[in-house]
């Protein structure tokens, strides 16, 4: 670790003091331990740090003050007497730090990942390191087409660029950023904390809020595209319609269609398909839908000119999108009638609306390791720390309510929150408390949903919708709700992965026929046998339903893919194709693990499963498992040509 960032501290002791006041004491304590190797801080802080779901620290103020003073002295000493910071702790100390950071034992599985995360920024371990860098002529002759310039396509492009491999990005939208450009519905934003939901190699210390809204996220991705100069290699307003593998040349023929309908061809040695799975909106199959005379909008195809103020609005759907739209528009509309088919579990979060204090931004930018430890705490609290709450305990006595003891505790926590928001006798309770265990559908953070339901201009309808008429929505009992506009917060055609692109691999095999309707599979969610050099980002079984951060998944996948490409290019081969038994064994394990997870719970529906009930969309593993699986590349799993 270089000491250059400590120069700032030496000249700005007052800012350092202010930052220490604003920063999280538990995170500062971890930095202090890392710099001093004094494990006694861990012993003193540990009893005051609680694990996920109700994650918080309750250290007494005198202890916090000691931590701040101790760290101030240590940092100023480094600043005044420049010397290298100590190396990353090893052995038991790192394990103890991880356990204390998480507020519960996390086990040794996280040590290697955390060591990688604590590496000095100058070495980016998730980028490609050539073993034997090929000459420029070899690299220039290799061309990758990246389909999509959203979060995952941009990550892929940045890694290709760093490795010196030429690429072209084809993007259907008018700009980069994918989902954060497309989704502009009122209230759109993240429900994963931003300091975790950002590229590990492009941390943003200036997020205005812990959970940023769409415009700020969009700007973040636009900024990353500019910084890495991705636009000059991006064909905007252009859609890939077909990819066909040529067995003779071991290359891909790509057909792209411009907005004006004209088509052109590209040749690619490899394809990185980064189109996401939540981008083809799904409209419900309700009789009379097209007869509605007012305005109809899907959340993912929002009309920025639509003015909801003073209007009577119906909203169908109460998932993550609806949960953000409803409370945002409710204060301004005449009436909001919400049609809910099934309720979601919703968790309160004290930081959800919180702004990031200037001192905290300064700490993130200037205090060494602070941002990395903060990220790990978020990683645990919003991802892997929740995983065990989703695993079915076969001995559990009350399976309609919950699936294991931890899951039951989480249920109690969320139920208490709902009752405290609505009141113990509210007739709404029967409608909003789910009758399935927590995490059976995607968990949501409370966006003032229950406060919204108590508004006099908001109604929650749980009767089945029978039809849509020109005037509005009719429920099964014949009641018509007349409205000016219908908002469809009804989600995406997730199971139609990579659709409607035509993808033909070896011997003309059509990927959509291999996958049949709705049953996508891929080794590590990335590689399909007989589709050489075709790499899927955020493919089958890589969605995160226990919590977490899709960017983390993408970084893991891209690292793995880059290692595949390294193997091909350095060995002078043309293509890499996963062996069918390797793919099949992976899928078998995924299916088997899913059998023991909450998403396959009896009677439950969610978008993670296909019509046959197979979980095709989400990951059954912990993030650390996926990190491990994608950090090693085993050539024996592949055929090379």
CB of 511 to ligand NAP, least distance (A): 23
Quote the crossing angle between the two packed helices 61-80 and 13-22, to the nearest 10°.
150
Q: Which of 150, 187, 276, 322 binds ligand NAP (CB under 6 A)?
A: 322
Question: Which helix (DSSP H) or strand (DSSP E) does residue 480 occupy?
Answer: strand 480-482
Question: How many residues contact ligand NAP, by CB under 6 A?
Answer: 26
Q: Which of 490, 526, 563, 630 binds ligand NAP (CB under 6 A)?
A: 490
Which residues lie closer than 8 Å to 576 by C-beta, 6 or more apart?
A: 532, 533, 564, 565, 567, 568, 638, 639, 640
SS3 633: coil
Q: How far is the CB of 212 from ligand NAP (least distance, A)?
A: 10
Q: Is residue 341 close enough to count as binding ligand NAP by CB under 6 A?
A: yes
By C-beta, is 102 or 286 nearer to ligand NAP?
286
Q: Judged by CB, which is closer to ligand NAP: 279, or 407?
A: 279
Contacts with ligand NAP in 433-462 (CB under 6 A)?
441-442
Among 342, 475, 482, 493, binds ligand NAP (CB under 6 A): 342
Helix (H, G, I), strand (E, B) or coil at 27: helix
Residue closer to ligand NAP by CB (options 156, 489) is: 489
Number of neighbouring beta carbons within 10 Å of residue 305: 5
Stretch touching ligand NAP by CB under 6 A, among 310-318, 365-373, 413-421, 499-507: 310-318
Query: Is there a contact between 195 and 378 (Cβ–Cβ < 8 Å)?
Result: yes
Q: Which of 52, 317, 385, 434 binds ligand NAP (CB under 6 A)?
A: 317
CB within 8 A of 26, min separation 6: which ones?
Answer: 45, 49, 57, 59, 100, 101, 377
Closer residue to ligand NAP in complex, CB, 186/317: 317
Shorter beta-carbon distance to ligand NAP: residue 376 or 488: 488
Surface-to-core class of residue 290, CB atoms within 10 Å of its CB (0-12 exposed, 13-18 middle, 19+ buried): exposed
Regarding 607 and contact with ligand NAP (CB under 6 A), the answer is: yes
Site string for ligand NAP, 508-547 (x = CB under 6 A): ----------------------------------------
Question: Closer CB to ligand NAP, residue 346 or residue 568?
Answer: 346
Instruction: Tell me how far, at minimum, the Cβ of 341 lies from ligand NAP, in Å.
Output: 3
Contact assessment for residue 169 and residue 148, using Cβ atoms and an 8 Å cutoff: yes
- Residue 213 found at the interface with ligand NAP (CB under 6 A): no
Q: Is the CB of 341 or the CB of 391 nearer to ligand NAP? A: 341
Phi, psi dihedrals of residue 75, rounded to the nearest 5°: -65, -40
Residues 251-290: x where in contact with ligand NAP by CB under 6 A, - otherwise, as a string: ---------------------------x-----x-x----
Pinpoint the alpha helices (H) of 357-427: 358-366, 370-379, 385-387, 405-422
Whether 153 and 178 have beta carbons less than 8 Å apart is answered as yes
Asked if 387 and 546 count as a contact pair (C-beta separation under 8 A), the reply is yes
Q: Other C-beta atoms within 10 Å of 249: how many?
A: 12
Q: How far is the CB of 137 from ligand NAP (least distance, A)?
A: 44
Strands across the sheet with 234-235, in order?
234-235, 167-170, 144-147, 270-273, 534-536
- Beta carbon of residue 435, minimum distance to ligand NAP (angstroms, whole number): 12
Sorted by sequence, the CB contacts under 8 Å of residue 557 that are 6+ apart come out as 152, 524, 525, 526, 535, 537, 538, 542, 630
Sign of the CA dihedral running 323, 324, 327, 333: negative
Given 306, 605, 612, 635, the residue binding ligand NAP (CB under 6 A): 605
DSSP state of 355: B
Q: Which is nearer to ligand NAP, 152 or 168 (CB)?
A: 152
User: What is the rounded distance in angstroms from the CA atom of residue 619 to the CA atom of residue 551?
Assistant: 14
Judged by CB under 6 A, which stretch of 213-221, 335-343, 478-486, 589-597 contacts ligand NAP? 335-343
Using CB under 6 A, which of the segments 49-57, 484-492, 587-595, 623-631 binds ligand NAP?
A: 484-492
Q: Does 557 help bind ligand NAP (rule: CB under 6 A)?
A: no
The distance of closest approach from Cβ of residue 386 to ligand NAP in the complex, given in angstroms and rounded to an integer, is: 15
Q: Report how far residue 186's alpha carbon sits from residue 333's, in angstroms, rounded to the nearest whole number.
A: 13
Stretch in the footprint of ligand NAP (CB under 6 A) among 163-171, 320-328, 370-378, 580-588: 320-328
Task: Considering only the stretches 113-121, 150-158, 321-329, 348-356, report the one whose residues sit in contact with ligand NAP under the rule CB under 6 A.
Answer: 321-329
Q: Residue 190 or residue 240: which is nearer to ligand NAP going by CB?
A: 190
Residue 489 binds ligand NAP (CB under 6 A): yes
257 versus 280: smaller Cβ distance to ligand NAP: 280
Query: In angstroms, rounded to a whole number, what is the distance separating the alpha carbons of residues 278 and 272?
Result: 17
Point out which residues pair with 314 in neighbouring strands.
337, 486
Q: What's the number of CA atoms in the CB half-sphere (13 Å) around residue 172?
A: 18
Q: Which of 128, 212, 314, 316 binds ligand NAP (CB under 6 A)?
A: 316
Subset of 162-181 contacting ligand NAP (CB under 6 A): none
Nearest residue to 495 (alpha-carbon basis) of 521, 473, 477, 470: 521
Confirm or reject binding of residue 491 to ligand NAP (CB under 6 A): yes
Q: For 346, phi and psi rounded to 5 degrees? A: -130, 135
* 321 belongs to the binding site for ligand NAP (CB under 6 A): yes
| Residue 64 within binding range of ligand NAP, rule CB under 6 A | no
> Which residue in 79, 96, 82, 113 sits closest to 33, CA to CA?
96
319 binds ligand NAP (CB under 6 A): yes
Which one, 371 or 491, has the nearer CB to ligand NAP? 491
- 142 contacts ligand NAP (rule: CB under 6 A): no
Binding site for ligand NAP (CB under 6 A): 190-191, 278, 284, 286, 299, 316-322, 324, 339, 341-342, 441-442, 465, 489-492, 605, 607
């Amino acid at each position: 670790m270089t000491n250059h960032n400590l120069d700032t501290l030496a000249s700005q002791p007052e800012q350092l003091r202010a930052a220490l006041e604003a920063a999280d004491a538990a995170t500062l304590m971890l930095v202090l331990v890392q710099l001093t190797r004094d494990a006694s801080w861990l012993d003193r802080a540990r009893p005051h740090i609680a694990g996920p779901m109700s994650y918080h620290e309750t250290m007494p103020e005198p202890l916090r003050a000691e931590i701040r003073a101790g760290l101030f002295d240590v940092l100023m000493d480094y600043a005044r007497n420049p010397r290298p910071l100590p190396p990353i702790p090893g052995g038991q100390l790192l394990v103890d730090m991880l356990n204390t950071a998480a507020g519960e034992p996390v086990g040794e599985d996280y040590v290697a990942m955390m060591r990688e995360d604590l590496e000095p920024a100058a070495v980016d371990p998730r980028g490609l390191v050539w073993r034997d860098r090929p000459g420029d002529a070899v690299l220039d002759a290799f061309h990758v087409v990246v389909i999509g310039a959203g979060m995952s396509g941009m990550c892929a492009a940045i890694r290709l660029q760093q490795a010196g491999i030429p690429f072209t990005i084809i993007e259907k939208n008018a700009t980069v950023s994918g989902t954060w450009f497309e989704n502009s519905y009122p209230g759109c934003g993240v429900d994963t904390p931003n300091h975790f939901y950002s590229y590990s190699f492009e941390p943003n210390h200036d997020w205005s809020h812990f959970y940023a809204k769409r415009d700020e996220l969009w700007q973040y991705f636009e900024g990353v595209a500019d910084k890495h100069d991705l636009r000059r290699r991006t064909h905007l307003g252009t859609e890939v319609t077909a990819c066909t593998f040529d067995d003779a040349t071991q290359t891909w023929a790509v057909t792209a269609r411009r907005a004006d309908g004209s088509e052109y061809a590209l040749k690619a040695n490899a394809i990185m398909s980064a189109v996401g799975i939540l981008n083809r909106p799904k409209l419900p199959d309700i009789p009379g839908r097209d007869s509605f005379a007012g305005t109809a909008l899907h959340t993912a195809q929002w009309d920025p000119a639509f003015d909801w103020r003073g209007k009577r609005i119906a909203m169908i759907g109460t998932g993550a999108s609806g949960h953000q739209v409803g409370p945002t528009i409710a204060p301004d509309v005449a009436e909001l009638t919400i049609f809910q088919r099934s309720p979601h579990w919703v968790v309160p979060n004290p930081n959800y609306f919180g702004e990031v204090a200037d001192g905290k931004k300064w700490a993130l930018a200037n205090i060494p390791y602070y941002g990395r430890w903060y990220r790990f705490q978020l990683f645990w609290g919003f991802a892997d720390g929740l995983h065990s709450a989703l695993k079915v305990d076969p001995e559990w006595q009350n399976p309609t309510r919950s699936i294991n003891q931890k899951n039951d505790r989480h249920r109690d926590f969320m139920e208490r929150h709902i009752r405290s928001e609505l009141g113990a006798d509210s007739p709404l309770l029967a409608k909003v408390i789910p009758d399935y265990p927590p995490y059976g559908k995607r968990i949501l953070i409370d966006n003032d949903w229950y406060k919204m339901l108590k508004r006099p201009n908001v109604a929650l309808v749980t009767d089945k919708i029978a039809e849509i008429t020109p005037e509005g929505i009719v429920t099964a009992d014949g009641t018509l709700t007349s409205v000016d506009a219908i908002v469809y917060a009804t989600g995406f055609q997730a199971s139609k992965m990579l659709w409607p692109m035509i993808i033909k691999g070896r011997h003309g095999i059509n990927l959509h026929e291999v996958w049949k309707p709705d049953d996508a599979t891929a080794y590590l969610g990335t590689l399909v046998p007989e589709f050489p050099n075709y790499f899927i980002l955020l493919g089958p079984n890589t969605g995160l339903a226990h919590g977490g951060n899709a960017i983390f998944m993408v970084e893991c996948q891209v690292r793995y893919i880059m290692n595949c490409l390294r193997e091909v290019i350095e060995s002078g081969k043309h293509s890499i194709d996963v062996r069918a038994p390797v793919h099949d064994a992976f899928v078998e394990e995924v299916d088997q693990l899913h059998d023991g997870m909450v998403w396959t719970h009896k009677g439950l529906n969610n978008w993670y499963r296909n019509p046959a009930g197979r979980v095709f969309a989400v990951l059954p593993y912990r993030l650390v498992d996926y990190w491990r699986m994608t950090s090693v590349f085993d050539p024996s799993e592949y055929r090379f040509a």
